[in-house]
Each structure stands twice: as C-alpha cells, then as structure tokens.
Structure 1
Amino acid sequence: MTLPLIVAGLGFSAAAGQTDLTASLVGGAVGFGLFAAIGQVYFKRNGREGLGLGDAKLFAAAGTWLGWNALPATLLIASGGALAFALIARRTAGHIAFGPWIALGFFVLWLTRHSLSGE
C-alpha cells in the first residue's frame, strides 16, 4: 500500500511544478533513508527489529506528498502522539506500532496545508 502512495505523491508533485517535484523527491529519499538507517542501527545494537521498512516507506510517502521540509513536523506529531498514547495507556512494556502515528502526522499536515490554501 505504501509504494503506490509514494508514486501518487510524486505524481501530485509533478503536476504542481518542478520546484515541488524536487522537494518531493528529496523528501521521499530523506524520509526513507532516515528511518531505514535508524532501523538498521537499532537492529545491529539489539539484534531485533525496532523500526521496520514499512515505517520507512510510509515516512517516504509523507516526504513525497509534503516535501522534505515537512518531515520534522511529521515526525514531531508522530512521536508526540505515540508518547501520549503510551503514557495514557500506561504501556511500559511491549511494542507500539509507529505506522499509525506517522500516518496521523502525515494526515494532519496534509489537511492543514490544503485547508489553509483553500484547495
């Protein structure tokens, strides 16, 4: 599901103009590369997956739709949401899926951008 989302983000950016396409390409590459690198470091240190490539592909999709400059805000919303969930649910052990929180940050920023621009 994430690969078609990446392609759609690139297509959307290409239709908007060359500058947006560059930001979209950089966003996809940086988004994937950052999460893939974090996941690889975690795996090497702990011997188990902590951040999968699905998260990296979803973050790349956010980068293609929103551009590279929106990735820090997407990550901030995702991390804050996951942390709030963990504290409210008192989840101290086990895993919390990060994908839904990435999707939340992605959606909030996309919706904000399009509601402010009137599109």
Structure 2
Amino acid sequence: MPTFVYPIAGILFGLIIGSFLATIIIRWPLGQSVVSGRSRCDSCEKQLRAIDLIPVISYLLRSGKCANCGVAIKSDHLIIELSAGLIGGLALFVAPGIDGMLGAIFGWLLLTLAALDAQHHWLPDRLSLLLAAIGLAASVAVDDPDFINRLIGGLVGFISLFLIGWGYQKLRGREGLGGGDPKLFAAIGCWLGWPALPLVILGAALIGILSAMTMQIRGQAISADSALPLGSFMAITAFPLWIAQIMIGGNLL
C-alpha cells in the first residue's frame, strides 16, 4: 500500500473515533451510558439518523444545530472529532504501520483525558490504567523504548508526582495535585520511557504558564488557589514528544 494512504486512513479513522470520544467526554461525567442504546441528541434526546452521524460533515450540514429541536450542538463534538483526525493523521504520517497505529491510540486516549481534566478536573483511573497497560504491552511490537524503560517510567512517574503532591499537602495544608495526576504521569512514562518524563513536566509547566497569562489577559483572577488542569497540560505535551521520539528514532534525552 502506498505510504501516503496511511495518514489519510489515520485521519478518516480518527474522525470516526473522535465522534465516539466526544460522546464519552460529554456523557461520562454525567453518569450516562456511552455504549448502550442508539445515538441521540443531548438536548431533545431524539434518536439520530445515519446522516446525522457523519463526523464533521453532519455538524456542518446542520449548521451546528439539532435537525429536530434546533438547539445548538456542543462545539466539543466538532473540536474532538477534528483533533482525533489530526492525531490519527500525524501518527500514521510519522510512523506508517503498527508503530503509528499504537501512537494514534496513545494520542486518542490522551485527548480524552485532557478534555475530561480541562472540563471537569477529572482523570478517570480506568482510562489512565488502560493507557498504562497498552503502553507496556506496546513494547512487544515496538522496540524503543523497551519494556524495562517503560516500566521504570511508570514507576518513576507515579512516585515522583505522588511525593510532590503529598509534600505540598503536608507543607501547605491543602491539596496541590489531584489524585489522578500521578497515575496519568505514570501512564505517559509507560509509553515514552523514564528519560522523557522531565520534558513532559517542563512542557506542561510552560503550557500552564501560558494558560495563566491568557486568563489574566482576559481579566480572570489567578491566585495560589486557582485550579489548573495539570493532567491536560501533560497530555498535550506527551503526544508531540512521542512524535519527536519516533522521528529521532530513540530517547529524547
């Protein structure tokens, strides 16, 4: 199969996956099922037809509104679908084949976790553990990082952030890190290996600073008690680092 077909397939498959991820991101925090029953409008709950389920195209055809009730569809659907398509395309562009497919899965799970943390300050343990398990299992198909490197990354990632959060709480008397952050950091370590962990934290810190500056420019108050989604920042950093790792063919440090 020609090489150029892989990223195109990654984009198309990513758009389809993105439609499902958007449903998870919107409904899971509300305690609603994301696997049972037919797809329906989140507002009027009318079952959607096939033409309403085409990623991106359906949103544009309906001008971002439900065909039945006319209520605006959350733009999250479009953003997540486009993001998932971009992830799939990039992953299979830099690594056509099994490496790229695994990288796309890495990116799609990170996208889901990033959105849940940004919107609800929630990093579900089940997703983080799934991400970690797939990362370790991927060492069977991908030589670098090897299993030991990934395993150490998982252990170091969890222990380091857990201790930082524990120490902060003891010193300041309040929670500084959510309980899901160390688990996500561990899962990222299971994919990128331990040498990449400092870069993940550095990238997350830079994104956090830019986010805080943007909030201040918009007139939003920022204080020591302001909650910023560290998990989202780590997830946003991790996928580009995976791409860089693939392109240089080894550890980043």
Q: Same-fold call, TM > 0.5?
A: yes
2:140 to 14, 32, 35: 14
2:187 to 57, 61, 66: 61
Are residues 1:113 and 2:239 paired? no
1:92 to 202, 219, 222: 222
Alpha-carbon distance in 1 for matches of 2:144, 2:244: 22
Alpha-carbon distance in 2 for matches of 1:19, 1:84: 30
Following superposition, the deviation at residue 60 of structure 1 comes to 0.5
Alpha-carbon distance in 2 for matches of 1:19, 1:100: 23
Are residues 1:49 and 2:175 paired? yes
Answer yes or no: is the 8 Å Cα contact 1:32–1:56 preserved in 2. Answer: yes
Alpha-carbon distance in 2 for matches of 1:39, 1:82: 17
Unaligned runs of 5+ in 2: 1-126
Following superposition, the deviation at residue 116 of structure 1 comes to 5.0
Q: How many residues are aligned here? A: 117
| TM-score (ref. length: structure 2) | 0.44
1:21-58: CA deviations, max 9, x gaps? 01000000000000000000011112221112211011
Answer yes or no: is the 8 Å Cα contact 1:36–1:52 preserved in 2. Answer: no
| TM-score (ref. length: structure 1) | 0.89
Alpha-carbon distance in 1 for matches of 2:149, 2:201: 17
When the two chains are superposed, the root-mean-square deviation of aligned CA atoms in Å is 1.7
Following superposition, the deviation at residue 15 of structure 1 comes to 3.1
Q: Which amino acid aligns with 1:54?
A: G
Identity %: 39
Alpha-carbon distance in 2 for matches of 1:42, 1:98: 15
Q: Which amino acid aligns with 1:34?
A: S
- More displaced 10-residue stretch of structure 1: 44-53 or 99-108: 44-53
Cα distance, 1:86–1:17 mapped onto 2, change above 3 Å = same
Q: Bigger relative contact order, structure 1 or 2, given CA contacts below 8 A and separation 6+?
A: 1
Which protein has the bigger helix share?
Answer: 1
Please tell me whether Structure 1 or Structure 2 has the larger radius of gyration of its CA atoms.
Answer: 2
Alpha-carbon distance in 2 for matches of 1:24, 1:50: 27
* Residue of structure 2 equivalent to 1:38: 164
1:16 partner SS: coil
